[in-house]
């Protein structure tokens, strides 16, 4: 069974709502799904303190992501709020610390897909997703975008081929049903690609086997 790790950061619940929908969709697609929140930073800029406190209580039992969780997964979804047109710094900080598994190629056979929530239309959701696509290239993983061929992706509140984007209008837990439907497609597509890739890898020679772990251990202390 394909294991999907859904890694997210959220402050007012929108990205969390998207992550929950993605997990349900991955399970519906026949995979095993686990949500992970990335560690918070020491002094987060919080706009909606009530929603932040409620979300902290609601996600108290959601495990904090570790690098081992990335390695254990076949497929990874990353969910982020948009911060000044970029992914949230919590997500970037987590990725910054992924060297010990990224450098030796332990993430190279992962299939990865990204979604984002911003407050306003055209205010950086796609830029944030594409910024995370850059990181995924450094991991050597396979990016699964949404594309635009399927009807659900053309619903009025969808349209970004890169990954599902929501517009919260500064409201907590305000993800539109069009976006939830797009996430169902995105998770199904991710599970499909991860399944095909897993079967295909059993029938081919892995390029990753050429990684010289001894050299990396010497150079980076990994
Ligand atoms: C520091 C900061 C910067 C933000 N910058 C943007 C931005 O560039 N574009 C945007 O659409 N929303 C921006 N927002 C709003 C959030 O992205 C938006 O409210 C999002 O839905 C929050 O997701 P969450 O409910 O999962 O926390 C910003 C919020 C914060 C706290």
Dist. CA 209 → ligand 1 center (Å): 41
**Alpha-carbon Rg of the chain, whole angstroms?**
17
- Tens digits of per-residue pLDDT, 82-107? 999 999 999 999 999 999 999 999 99
In the reported structure, the alpha carbon of residue 171 is separated from the centroid of ligand 1 by a whole-number distance in angstroms of 10
- Is the Cβ atom of 87 under 6 angstroms away from ligand 1? no
Measured in Å, residue 207 CA sits from the centre of ligand 1 at 39
* pLDDT tier, 222 (very low <50, low <70, confident <90, very high otherwise): confident
Ligand 1 and 83: CB distance under 6 A: yes
Cα–Cα nearest to 146, from 115, 177, 111, 168: 115
CA dihedral over 168, 179, 122, 192, signed as positive or negative: positive
Closest Cα to residue 166, out of 9, 188, 158, 7?
158
Tokens of 141: 């993983």
Mean of the per-residue pLDDT values of the chain:
96
Residue length of the chain: 222
Sequence-distant (6+) residues with CB within 8 A of 80 are 8, 9, 15, 87, 88, 91, 114, 115, 116, 117, 128, 132
Q: DSSP per residue over 165-217, as a string?
A: EEE-TT-TT---HHHHHHHHHHHHHHHHHHHHHHHHHHTS--GGGG--HHHHH
Identify how many contiguous H helices and E strands the chain contains and give both numbers: 8, 7
Say if ligand 1 is within 6 A of residue 45 CB. yes
Round to whole Å and give the CA distance between 22 and 174: 15
Buried b (16+ CB within 10 A) or exposed e, 187-222: bbbbbbbbbebeeeeeeeeeeeeebeeeeeeeeeee
Whether residue 3 has pLDDT greater than 90: yes
Q: Tell how far CA 136 is from the center of its chain.
A: 10
Q: Where are the domains of the chain?
A: 3-220
pLDDT tens digit sequence for 50-70? 999 999 999 999 999 999 999
Choose one of 49, 51, 52, 119 to mutate for the ligand 1 pocket test, by most ligand atoms within 8 angstroms of C-beta. 119
For every residue of 31-87, DSSP letters joined together read: -EEEEEEPPPPSS---S-HHHHHHHHHHTTTSPBP-HHHHHH-SEEEEEEEEETTEE
Q: Are 10 and 53 within 8 A, CB to CB?
A: no
Read off the pLDDT of residues 132-165 as tens digits, 9 standing for 90 and up: 999 999 999 999 999 999 999 999 999 999 999 9
- Cα angle 214, 217, 222 (rounded to 5 degrees) comes to 140
ipTM over 0.90? The verdict is yes
CATH of domain 3-220: 3.40.50.360
Alpha carbon distance 94, 87 (integer Å): 11
């Amino acid at each position: 069974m394909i294991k999907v790790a859904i890694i997210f950061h959220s402050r007012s619940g929108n990205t969390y709502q998207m992550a929950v929908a993605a997990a349900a969709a991955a399970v519906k697609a026949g995979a095993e799904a686990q949500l992970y929140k990335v560690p918070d930073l020491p002094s987060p800029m919080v706009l909606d303190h009530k929603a932040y406190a409620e979300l902290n209580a609601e996600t108290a039992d959601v495990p904090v992501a570790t690098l081992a969780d990335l390695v254990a997964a076949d497929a990874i979804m990353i969910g982020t709020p948009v911060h000044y047109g970029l992914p949230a710094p919590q997500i970037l900080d987590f990725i910054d610390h992924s060297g010990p598994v990224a450098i030796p190629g332990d993430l190279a056979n992962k299939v990865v897909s990204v979604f984002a929530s911003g407050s306003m239309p055209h205010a950086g959701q796609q830029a944030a997703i594409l910024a995370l696509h850059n990181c995924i290239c450094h991991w050597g993983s396979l990016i699964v975008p949404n594309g635009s061929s399927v009807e659900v992706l053309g619903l009025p509140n969808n349209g970004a081929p890169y990954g599902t984007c929501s517009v919260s209008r500064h409201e907590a837990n305000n993800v539109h049903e069009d976006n939830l439907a797009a996430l169902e497609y995105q998770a199904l597509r991710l599970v499909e690609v991860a399944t095909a890739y897993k079967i295909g890898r059993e029938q081919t020679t892995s390029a990753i086997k050429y990684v010289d772990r001894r050299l990396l251990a010497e150079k980076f202390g990994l």
